[in-house]
Amino acid sequence: MKYRSKNRVPEIFIKSEIIDGKVRLFFQDNGLGIDLEKHGHKLFGLNKVFHRHPEAKGVGLFMVKTQVEALNGTIYATSKVNEGTTFYINFN
């Protein structure tokens, strides 16, 4: 909720599916979005922030990626500025 758009009611969609016996989770929001052309290479980096939010610390996505990888999973994202972001988590 920290990175919600002030122009619309915040929504978060969570979906799961099993493909070839592997679990995939989707987390989609309609928030501010992230410019992946500019920031994609550092998306899951420690202390990396992409908005000028006063509470941004750049730790959350780093911690999520660390935990997903500890469970032999992968995580990636797609995003459009001012439309939102979708995170995909795959577990083997």
pLDDT at residue number 52: 67
**pLDDT tens for residues 33-79?**
988 998 888 888 887 776 666 676 778 889 999 999 999 999 999 99
DSSP run (H or E) holding 87 = strand 84-91
- What b/e sequence results for 24-47 when a residue is b if at least 16 CB atoms lie within 10 Å of its CB, and e otherwise? ebebbbbbbbbebeeeeeebbeee
- Residue at token pair 């795959």: 90
pTM of structure: 0.85
Helix/strand/coil for 84:
strand
Domain positions in the chain are 1-12+32-84
